[in-house]
Structure 1
Amino acid sequence: MMATIDQAKQVIANTYGRFPIVFESGSGVTLKDDSGKTYLDFVAGIAVNALGYGDEGYAEALKEQALKMCHVSNLYWNAQNIALSEKLTKWSGLSKAFYCNSGAEANEAALKFARLYGEDTRYEIITMANSFHGRTMGALTMTGQTKYQKHFSPLIEGVKYVPYNDSEALKEAVGDQTVAIMVEVIQGEGGIVTIAPAFVETIKSLCKTHDLLLIVDEVQTGIARTGHYFGYQAFGLEPDIVSVAKGVAGGFPMGVSLVSERVASKLSPSCHASTFGGSALGSAAANYVLNKIDDENMLAHVNEMGDVLKAKLEELKGKYSIIKELKGMGLIQGILIDDALPTSEIIGKAIEEGLLLVGAGHQVIRFVPPLIVKAEDIEAMGQILDKVLASLTV
């Protein structure tokens, strides 16, 4: 393993703080490294691997499409992408889909589409402090966390930040040049922070009164992760632009910007593009994922497993005072840990015990397992985490 990692360090850019593990294969909700050790995976590629690992139908769908064609230019149509667009617009209630390769790219598209809607007179976007929207320059600017923006100034103009769930601050930020409000219904990288009902009502009122677009970043919360097709559906929001990625194609790179008719009416050939966006191969992967979610009633499963996960975390909270708060919903949940115990120690010890966890914001541990997770997997996770916390809090 170490020889492989030493080799990797010679040829792969140092942009990630990686654990010393080389994974080779997976099955269901477990992964196996190159030494044969197995790990229970509650990271899922950070909410990407919706169907876990080794799904034979998924592999067959990719193989079948690859034998036909992987990609043609967007100068033409492909049937897989048309079918996918029909499904996504039906799920979301929005009008049209634009395809790219990642969540950051989907948010870049959202930024451009909002400015198109503003017709050069309104261009400001209000986004939230502690938000995360990606690492490309537009998405980075819309991300309300200075730690990600350090060394990359000057950022683009026309973005304002307000505290999340602060209705008065949001009202004060709206001006004559404001064209859109951008929000996550659950701030994933920001610490699994959920939107407040009063803030929802303020957003709806401001958008209606000032003809503002509502952009909802569903990169992490979309595609059944919350127990709804999209997280905003749990909170009564009606967005004009929804950015989607992560779980949509089950691990195949894909980003999507879904738009309402009033945004779609502003789009025209050459206003935006993505060479690989909506490829036949990626669309086949996404069609398989979305069809399986519907065919196997996975929304109900996610809600059920979300309740099981919450109950297990509540049990641990009752046992360990170091856990201060439970956060999230469905299969995007978190625990807030007292500052006395760094979450990195918990995550590191959990890895030693064969459990993969990931942090989210300050002192929060995030739980985003594959959507196929079962009650016995959650019980096994709880037993390992119990052992870890016991060893670190004696």
Structure 2
Amino acid sequence: MSIVKIENVRVLDPIAKTDSVQTVYVENGKLVAETANVAETINGEGKWLMPTMVDLCARLREPGQQQHGTLKSEGKAARENGILHVFTPPDSKPIVQDNGALIHGLVEKAMLDGGIYLQVIGAQTQGLLGKQPANMAGLKKGGCTAVSNANASFENDDVVLRTLEYAAGLDMTVVFYAEEPQIAKDGCVHEGFVASRQGLPTIPALAETIAIAKYLLMIEATGVSAHFGLLSCGASVELIKIAKAKGLNITCDVAMHQLHLTDQLIDGFNSLAHVRPPLRSEKDKELLRQGVKDGVIDAICTHHEPLSSSAKMAPFAETLSGFTAFDTYIPFGIQLIKEGLFEPLEWVEKVTVAPAKVANMYDRWVAESGWVLIDPEVEWTITKDSIISQGKNTPLIQQTVRAKALRTFTA
């Protein structure tokens, strides 16, 4: 690879904890010493240079759902938006993440087709059926460091306990996407005024908080390392805060869209705003923001879920849930800075170092990460043509946003 010189760029380095305007030289995704052997020069004035990001939750849809997205299409979307390491839940269709022998092939294909480092979260139970623990030893041998039952329910709490004990013995992390099925039932939106007016079945905040409270007791009893993904309720932040103060070995994240969007978007049965966990209230949004600011919530993820256009064309409750989120990740992050929640280096840390540490892969991330050049001021309109992902399913279509990745430098 040739050496690129970037002049007068603002370098946001969360490893060295520095924020300064510099002229830098990039070769094979790494900053190198000044050299005369420059193949390309970029004017970086007004631009930012930051390390490539780590995403703790994204569904890439392959294998089995290529009508929504592929490792090639979504890998390209992630990479071009500055995301190089992607964690994916174990709920592809068919489910292959309960077989350690198949996982290595997925990881290789993600790099060959999409140019990203894929990290597969293994299945917590066989086939995600919630009845028997999966072969976690085999999953660990296949490269998994964490397991989850994704959004699938467990047959009973005894199964949960047995899987936690199994994972603890292997020093594997258990990832929870907390939702109590008996309360959530067939719900699809936040329990609030808009849902009531439209007569849509709801997922109360209690569905999340009761599940978190129950799992925290099990985590304390088994000593397992656990991560709570995709928090959506302000009350959940308080539960996590108390558990961390007690010394439980837990971490958590929140999807970027939960820090910006609320259930007001579902008005008019807007199926593009159908996501799970659902968009919550303005109060929840503010408490989640404060949780990230205070460090109770460790990291921010995309919760990228590409879907074909037909997946959003049925009546609201019958549509598939999910947003395409890679392309709006940086604009939403810059918006948090513009609104005063973070200093630029603080935000960079929440999407790079913090998720890498949550995933126990900090040293690996440092070795494999590249750099992404972004323009924090450029305005662009979100359209089906401007979205790189195969999925165009976002409630932000036709909205104008600010900030965009210009180029990603990797090995």
Q: TM-score when scaled to structure 2?
A: 0.30
Q: TM-score when scaled to structure 1?
A: 0.31
Q: Which has the higher helix share?
A: 1
Does 1 or 2 have the higher relative contact order (CA < 8 Å, sep 6+)? 1
